[in-house]
Each structure stands twice: as C-alpha cells, then as structure tokens.
Amino acid sequence: METLINLFWSLVATSRDVLPIAVVLFGFQYLVIRQPLPNLRSIIIGFIYVVVGLSFFLIGLEKALFPLGKLMAAQLTDPAFIHGVGVVVEGVNWQDYYMVYLFAAAIGFATTIAEPSLMAIAIKANRVSGGTVSIWGLRLAVAVGVAFGVALGTYRIITGTPLHYYIIVGYAIVIVQTIRANRAVIPLAYDSGGVTTSTVTVPLVTALGLGLATTIPGRSSLLDGFGLIAFASLFPVITVMAYSNFGEWLRKRRRIRGDANEV
C-alpha cells in the first residue's frame, strides 16, 4: 500500500517535471510550426511511457538502491571502519582509504551503466554512425571515465587539494586529445561528459562526497562535498576520445596484418 502511494506521488512529480517540456514542444508545434504532428498518437503514448517508466525507475531506486548505497557510503567513510575501532589517528593518511577509492570507482562504473540518458545517446550514436560506434563500447568507455573521475574526486577530498587544479589539468588533456582525435568523435565525446550525471549517479556519488567531507577532520562538507560531479563529467570526455583512438589503432593494425596475409 505504501509502495502504491509512493508510486502515485512519483507519477505526480515526474509529470510535473515533464510538463514544462511538453508545453514548450507542443506550444511551438501548434503556434509556430502550425502543422499537425504526423504520428501524434504514438508520440503521446511515448510520453506516457516516459512518465510511467521514469516513475517506476525512481521509486525502485528509492526503495532498493539509494538507502543501501548511502548507508554503505557512510559506513565505508566512517573512521572506525578505516582505522579500526578505537584507533585515533593524527592527520590524514590517504593510503588508509583504499576501500573508499575502490567503492567510488565501482559505484561510479555501475551507476553509469544503468544511466538511462547515456543509453539514449548510445542508441542514437550507434544509429547515426551506421553501427561504427558500438552501444556497449561507448557505454563502457563512459563508465570507465566516471569510475576514474569519482575515485580521483574522493582522493581530492581526502587530501584536501584544490578542485580547480585537477579540473584544469583535465581540460589540458582534453585539448591535447582533441587536436589528435577523429573529427567525427569530438562532439560525441564532449556530449558524453554531460549525460553521465543524472538520475542514478548523482545521489549516490553526492552521498559519498558528503560522507567523506563530514568525517575527515579539517574538511567542510559545504565546501569540499561538491566537485565529485564535476570529475564525473570531465573524465568520460577523456576516456571516450581514448577509446576512439584505441579503436582506430586496432583497425589500422588489423588492416596492416590483412595486407601482410594477402602478400
């Protein structure tokens, strides 16, 4: 019964989120374009699917994943777990937190694979590229980037180093990669930074950041808790371009081998 009530409120909330989008779309369609939509019926059904699907998705996450994931983030960052019960440590030794990095990487990877907006981009890119961009290849490349980004982000919070140094170095890497990258991959790589951080990833990653920032002496949860999302959006750009370079290198090698065989 409680689940049903939650589901109802989730439906209401999702409809409210989708409403402004629907108003803009249908407003411009009927006031500016002034043409009937060719497949209006199926588009409306599609919108209903989106609202219902997202509601179930969010309720399920709230029920199954978020409480446990947040609890886990709190337990793993608890000083009693990291240093042992009753041990008082002077200062912060970043190596003690290896389990936190492992968890950060694992949860970053796993939540990205389940991220619906990344699926949408991957499906579209696969279709537009005529199959050259593989759906799973792109998703894995992005997930590896998020994993690395979140793990590095936790390291930053633990060591208390300034956020913008990391971001600026990351930008420099992106610029160098862009110069060398295949022209067709650049926009997709840039896009993949923005899609990683929505429904599934943000709540768990934020919980991890806040957990760390509140338990480590000298960190402010208000100032240091932020920034993990920024890492999670920057590193996929790097890994997607690297993945594309790697794919090209593989193809080239195969071609050279093929030529050798023919000779």
Partner 1 sequence: MGHDMRTGLVRFFRLLTSSFRDLVPIIVVISFFQLIVLQQPIPDFGGILLGLFFVLIGLTVFIQGLEIGLFPIGESMANAFARKGSLFWLLAFAFALGFGTTAAEPALIAVAAEAARVAAAGGVLDGSAAAQADYALYLRGTVAFSVGVALMIGVFRILKGWPIQYLIIGGYMTVVVLTIFAPANIIGIAYDSGGVTTSTVTVPLVTALGVGLATAIKGRNPMVDGFGLIAFASLTPMIFVLIFGMLWSALG
- Subset of residues 77 to 116 that bind partner 1, contact rule: CB under 8 A: 81, 99, 103, 106-107, 109-111, 113-114, 116
CB 189 within 8 A of CB 181: yes
Nearer to partner 1, 220 or 253 (CB): 220
Residue 173 makes contact with partner 1 by CB under 8 A = no
Nearer to partner 1, 19 or 256 (CB): 19
Select from 20, 86, 91, 218 the one that contacts partner 1 (CB under 8 A).
Answer: 20
Select from 124, 214, 245, 247 the one that contacts partner 1 (CB under 8 A).
Answer: 124
Q: Minimum Å distance from CB 43 to partner 1?
A: 5
Select from 8, 75, 80, 253 the one that contacts partner 1 (CB under 8 A).
Answer: 75
**Cα–Cα distance measured from residue 123 to residue 131, given in angstroms and rounded to the nearest whole number:** 10
What is the size of the binding site for partner 1 (CB under 8 A)?
Answer: 104
CA distances from 200 to 4, 28, 33, 117, 178 (A): 21, 31, 36, 10, 29
Other residues' Cβ atoms within 10 Å of the Cβ of residue 217? 9
Residue 24 makes contact with partner 1 by CB under 8 A = yes
133-162 residues near partner 1, rule: CB under 8 A: none
CB 58 within 8 A of CB 17: no
Residue 15 makes contact with partner 1 by CB under 8 A = no
244-263 residues near partner 1, rule: CB under 8 A: none
Select from 86, 183, 260, 262 the one that contacts partner 1 (CB under 8 A).
Answer: 183
Residue 74 makes contact with partner 1 by CB under 8 A = no
Select from 9, 30, 98, 171 the one that contacts partner 1 (CB under 8 A).
Answer: 171
Residue 242 makes contact with partner 1 by CB under 8 A = no
Residue 216 makes contact with partner 1 by CB under 8 A = no
Residue 217 makes contact with partner 1 by CB under 8 A = no
Q: Minimum Å distance from CB 257 to partner 1?
A: 27
> Could you write out the three-class secondary structure of the chain?
CHHHHHHHHHHHHHHHHHHHHHHHHHHHHHHHHCCCCCCHHHHHHHHHHHHHHHHHHHHHHHHHHHHHHHHHHHHHHCHHHHHCCCCCCCCCCHHHHHHHHHHHHHHHHHHHHCCHHHHHHHHHHHHHCCCCCCHHHHHHHHHHHHHHHHHHHHHHHHHCCCHHHHHHHHHHHHHHHHHHCCCCCHHHHHHHHHHCCCCCHHHHHHHHHHHHHHHCCCCCHHHHCCCHHHHHHHHHHHHHHHHHHHHHHHHHHHHHHHHHHHC
Q: Minimum Å distance from CB 132 to partner 1?
A: 9
Which of these ranges, 83-91, 179-187, 242-250, 255-263, lies near partner 1 under the rule CB under 8 A?
179-187
Binding track over 26-45 against partner 1, x by CB under 8 A: -xxx--xx-x-xxx--xxxx
